[in-house]
Amino acid sequence: MSRTLTLLLAAATLSACAPYEPEPVSPYQWQQRQERIERQEAERLRRCETMDQQSERYARECARTGASQ
């Protein structure tokens, strides 16, 4: 019984982990990664501009540590 419980807990823990993303190895891959990050951040900022600043979603998705808003 304890072995089954241990296996279930291990499976649940591993399934919650973020997918592995290998580090880029070439300058092209680094550039692609940086451009993807910049696009995602620009998209996040556009969404935040249209959200109600008093909402829970705004607090969760638009607040950045170290940022003064």
Instruction: State how far the Cα of 7 lies from the Cα of 1, in Å rounded to an integer.
Output: 10
Give 12-19 contacts, CB < 8 A, sequence gap 24+: none
Domain ranges of the chain: 26-61
State the chain's mean pLDDT as an integer: 82
Instruction: State how far the Cα of 36 lies from the Cα of 21, in Å rounded to an integer.
Output: 13
More confident residue, 27 or 3: 27
Q: Does the predicted TM-score (pTM) go above 0.75?
A: no
pLDDT score recorded for residue 69 = 44
End-to-end CA separation in angstroms for the chain? 52
pLDDT at position 19 over 80:
no
Containing 23, the helix (H) or strand (E) segment is none
- Report pLDDT digits (tens) over 41-63: 999 999 999 989 899 989 988 88
Q: How would residue 34 be classed by pLDDT, with cut points 50, 70 and 90?
A: very high
